[in-house]
Each structure stands twice: as C-alpha cells, then as structure tokens.
Amino acid sequence: MASVPSSSVDPVAGLIDGRAIAGEITARVGAETRRLKDAHGLVPGLAVVLVGYDPASQIYVGSKGRKAEELGFHSVQHTLPADTPESDVLAVVESLNLDPAVNGILVQLPLPDHVDTAKVIEAVRPDKDVDGFHPINVGRLVTGSGAAMVPCTPAGCMVLIRRAVGASLSGLDAIVVGRSNIVGKPMAHLLVRESCTVTVAHSRTRDLASAVRRADILVAAVGRPEMVRGDWIKPGATVIDVGMNRIPAPERGEGKTRLVGDVAFAEARRVAGAITPVPGGVGPMTIAMLMANTLVAACRQHGLPVPDVTG
C-alpha cells in the first residue's frame, strides 16, 4: 500500500482522482492476467447474472462485461427475463458454481420482488462470490478469519482513503453515514480493521452534523443528494462520497439531469483535506475492485499466490 499520498491525489485541490487510481489498478490486473495466462495457462473468468431489464442495471452489467473482456478475462453474461422463476435463477447460479472456467459470479442487484435475494446470494459459492455478499465472506471480514472476498465499493473506498491519508489510519476518527449491507456495514468493518475509531450513522442518528464534524475520515453512502454540507466537515478531513444521485439540471436544457453525490461538493472542497468527486471518484473504483476480486478468486482457486494490485 502507498505510504505517502499518491500523485492521483491533487495536493492543492485535494481532489482524489478515482478514475486515475482505478485505471492504475485495472492496468495491474491486466498485466497479472497476462502473466497468469503465460505462466499457468489460466484465464480468470467472470460471470454476471442479470434478471430483468432495469436500465441502470443493464448499464452497470454492460460496463462490467466490457472491462472484463478488455482485461482478457473469460466473460459470461446471463440475462434472464424479469419473470424468471426463482428456481431457474438458482439453477443458473449452480451451473456457474460448477463451471471451472468461471472464477467469479456476480448477481446484479436488485432482483425482482418474487426472487429471494438472500437465497440467491447464499447460493453463490463463497470462493466465487466476487461481490463479497455471502454470509461466509461477511463473517470472515468481521472476524478477520480466513480469506474473505471484500465487497467492491467499500474495498475501493479503502484504497482511496489510503492514497489520501497514507498507510496508517490507526487511531483516526472515522464516520460512515449509511448502514447498508453492500456499502455502509462492510465499510465500517474495514475501517475498524485499520484501527480507526468508527461511528456508523443512519437515518435515526441524532445531530448527524456534530458527529460528522468529529471525523478525520468521512464516508457518505446515503443516497440523498448533497445532504452533507460543507460546514459539517472537520477542516482537513478526507471525504469519500459514495452517493450517486441523479438530479434535474434545467441549466443543461429541458429534461436534462446531472449526477451528484451525498456531499455538497463545492462547499466541502473548501474545508476538506481531500475529497472524491462525483462522478469520477468511487464509481470507477467499484468496477476496478470487481476485476481485482475476480483475479484474486482465480488465484485462490488454483492455489497460486495472490498479487497485490491495489498498492
């Protein structure tokens, strides 16, 4: 891991360039993939399962598949109609569990209401669970035992935090706003693992602004446009904005929209020591970490050393 702030964190503006850092990581994944193929004849395989035709999910799945192909992975996509019975979704997952060419399986969420999400997540073989959502991986992350697959978005946030703060986060005060299973909770555990003192805030938290003001590291994963204001932020803090919210942008023309985070960026940038933009911060890191997790899964499944592609 980097022990000094990387060149991808602009020292004057304090902008954490997630796109550039994600580019570095995917380049390393690509190089390791070529090395694995040359040395061991091994090609990492990623399968993505999409149920239904949600436009946002189709975009995410498309970009994951394209990136996997670009890196030389074996890439498979199963797109199932929205009314696919749960048993058929489970059967597809089981066929991928048994396929030796597939090292990583990702089931795009959300699933349609008639499909039990927990059941599908638990059907994925834990060592192929590149999303890190299986209870075995969650348990390993929390207890620190065994080789966990770490969820991609929080894993990407950790890389950004280390690039901004340095190798040691020990003793720093961190706050995670949001307690979802996919972002908030695993993020909090990763920060605890790095010996931060962690507050997990949510919709019932009293006086959120005061809690945020104490934090050296803020991770906002709420889904509320620009909720965290500049005057909530401790001067010099590292701010990681996971939020992706589409809001109307009439200034761009009728019916146009733009993407904003959970943090009021222009205000926060004046106070923070380092901050991720939206877009171009956490988003690209999520895909990069999915590729890294697939590489890790392939190495582990073949008993090969796991390369560090995030340092």
Active site residues per annotation: 64, 108, 131
Shortest approach of ligand NAP to residue 260 CB, angstroms? 10
Residue closest to ligand NAP, measured at CB:
180
Cβ-count burial of 149 within 10 angstroms (0-12 exposed, 13-18 middle, 19+ buried)?
Answer: buried
Decide whether 212 or 299 has the Cβ nearer to ligand NAP.
212
How many other β-carbons are positioned within 10 Å of the β-carbon of residue 4?
A: 9
Decide whether 57 or 301 has the Cβ nearer to ligand NAP.
57
Decide whether 189 or 307 has the Cβ nearer to ligand NAP.
189
Decide whether 61 or 299 has the Cβ nearer to ligand NAP.
61
CB 221 within 8 A of CB 177: yes
Q: Where are the beta strands (DSSP E) in the chain?
A: 45-51, 74-80, 104-107, 173-177, 197-201, 217-220, 238-241, 245-248, 257-260, 274-275
DSSP codes of every residue in 187-200 = HHHHHHHTT-EEEE
Shortest approach of ligand NAP to residue 57 CB, angstroms? 12
Query: Starting from the edge strand earliest in sequence, which strands make up the sheet with 217-220, in order?
Result: 197-201, 173-177, 217-220, 238-241, 274-275
Decide whether 214 or 224 has the Cβ nearer to ligand NAP.
224
Decide whether 25 or 177 has the Cβ nearer to ligand NAP.
177
Q: What are the residues whose beta carbons fall under 8 Å from the beta carbon of 213, sequence distance 6 or more?
A: 232, 233, 234
Q: Which of 182, 220, 226 is nearest to 200 (CA)?
A: 220
- Token duo for residue 50: 């999409």
* Residue ranges binding ligand NAP (CB under 6 A): 153, 177-180, 182-184, 201-205, 208, 221-224, 242-245, 282-283, 286
CB 230 within 8 A of CB 268: yes
The 3-state DSSP class for residue 67 equals helix
Shortest approach of ligand NAP to residue 117 CB, angstroms? 12
Shortest approach of ligand NAP to residue 124 CB, angstroms? 18
- Residue bearing tokens 């199963």: 78
| 122 vs 56: CA distance, rounded Å | 24
